[in-house]
């Protein structure tokens, strides 16, 4: 699904990362973890063609990103990046996911409206169809933007911190929903800071800090030495059967 070769990205003279090589197979559900400022968001934006590489190439579904034919990618940015005061309803927001199917004139037809309603029902938020997105809770807002992405009927779904700022139940609901979508054939890549959540739900992990530190199944990459290289800090890893729990070692060893 995605192949990255010798990728380097810069913002002006500031080098974010260089020499990144990565392959993501079709049908995978992968989480990208790493500290703030490590280049995770820049990495996924290079997959979307939003960030132009300083060097290297990005291929999505066999096509070079800057030259590829239209490909169905759903993208959900961080909620902090959304302009919540923009006067738009839930239905109008989700309908934006259909724009690439509307032709020259951005007018929705019966099929577009059917898809939007079906997605809203599927995600359990049809009752908010005429509500302003600002009035919803954090979990409901995440579902709206997930609905917008799904309305485009994507083969690849990319999410930037989809569980940030929501409560524990909503976090698990979102991850279970993504797992069900993945089982139906959608390749999913998400960025997250919640190591314990991805250890419990995701089958594939990519540890990233200015480059690929390690990748593999949670039991293979969530190890103290790998996490220290990733976060430049000691992380305690507790294993009990298939359960993996992680915590900041300094916090666990405090005398308070």
Beta bridge partners of 191: 32, 160
Distance from C-alpha of 125 to C-alpha of 119, rounded to nearest angstrom: 9
pLDDT score of 255: 42
**Same domain flag for 76 and 145:** yes
Distance from C-alpha of 105 to C-alpha of 123, rounded to nearest angstrom: 28
Backbone phi and psi for residue 68, each to the nearest 5 degrees, phi listed first: -70, 150
178 in a structural domain: no
Q: Find how far residue 55's CA is from the centre of its chain.
A: 24
Task: Spell out the residues 6+ positions from residue 14 whose beta carbon is closer than 8 angstroms to its own.
Answer: none
Choose one of 154, 171, 197: the last residue of a domain: 154
Q: What is the mean pLDDT of each run of 10 residues along the chain (256 residues)?
A: 94 93 94 94 92 92 72 79 79 87 71 91 92 88 88 89 79 86 92 89 94 95 94 90 78 42
30 in a structural domain: yes
169 in a structural domain: no
End-to-end CA gap in the chain: 49
User: In terms of residue numbers, what domain contains 116?
Assistant: 72-154
**Same domain flag for 12 and 50:** yes
pLDDT score of 80: 65
Task: Please tell me the total count of domains within the chain.
Answer: 2
Distance from C-alpha of 198 to C-alpha of 34, rounded to nearest angstrom: 12
Distance from C-alpha of 193 to C-alpha of 160, rounded to nearest angstrom: 10
**Same domain flag for 64 and 102:** no
44 in a structural domain: yes
pLDDT score of 256: 40
Distance from C-alpha of 65 to C-alpha of 49, rounded to nearest angstrom: 6
124 in a structural domain: yes
199, 218 Cβ separation under 8 angstroms = yes
Choose one of 107, 137, 154: the last residue of a domain: 154
Q: What is the CA radius of gyration of the chain?
A: 19
Q: Could you tell me how many residues make up the chain?
A: 256
**Same domain flag for 64 and 7:** yes
Alpha helices in 36-188 (DSSP H): 40-48, 90-95, 110-122, 138-151, 168-183
Choose one of 108, 134, 154: the last residue of a domain: 154
**Same domain flag for 194 and 255:** yes
């Amino acid at each position: 699904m995605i192949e990255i070769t010798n990728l380097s990205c810069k913002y002006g003279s500031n080098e974010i990362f260089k020499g990144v090589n990565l392959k993501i197979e079709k049908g995978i559900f992968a989480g990208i973890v790493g500290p703030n400022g490590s280049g995770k968001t820049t990495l996924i934006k290079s997959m979307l063609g939003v960030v132009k590489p300083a060097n290297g190439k990005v291929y999505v579904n066999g096509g070079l990103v800057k030259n590829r034919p239209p490909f169905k990618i759903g993208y959900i940015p961080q909620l902090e990046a959304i302009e919540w005061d923009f006067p738009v309803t839930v239905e109008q927001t989700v309908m934006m996911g259909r724009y690439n199917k509307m032709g020259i004139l951005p007018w929705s037809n019966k099929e577009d409206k059917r898809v939007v309603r079906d997605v809203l029902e599927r995600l359990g938020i049809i009752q908010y169809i005429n509500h302003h997105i600002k009035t919803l809770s954090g979990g409901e807002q995440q579902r709206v933007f997930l609905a917008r992405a799904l309305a485009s009927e994507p083969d690849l779904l990319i999410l930037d911190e989809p569980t940030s700022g929501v409560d524990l139940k909503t976090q698990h609901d979102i991850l279970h929903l993504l797992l069900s979508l993945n089982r139906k054939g959608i390749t999913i890549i998400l960025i997250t800071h919640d190591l314990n959540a991805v250890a419990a739900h995701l089958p594939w992990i990519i540890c990233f800090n200015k480059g690929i530190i390690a990748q593999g199944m949670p039991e293979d990459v969530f190890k103290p030495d790998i996490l220290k290289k990733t976060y430049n800090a000691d992380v305690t890893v507790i294993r009990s059967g298939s359960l993996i729990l992680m915590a900041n070692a300094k916090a666990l060893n405090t005398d308070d």
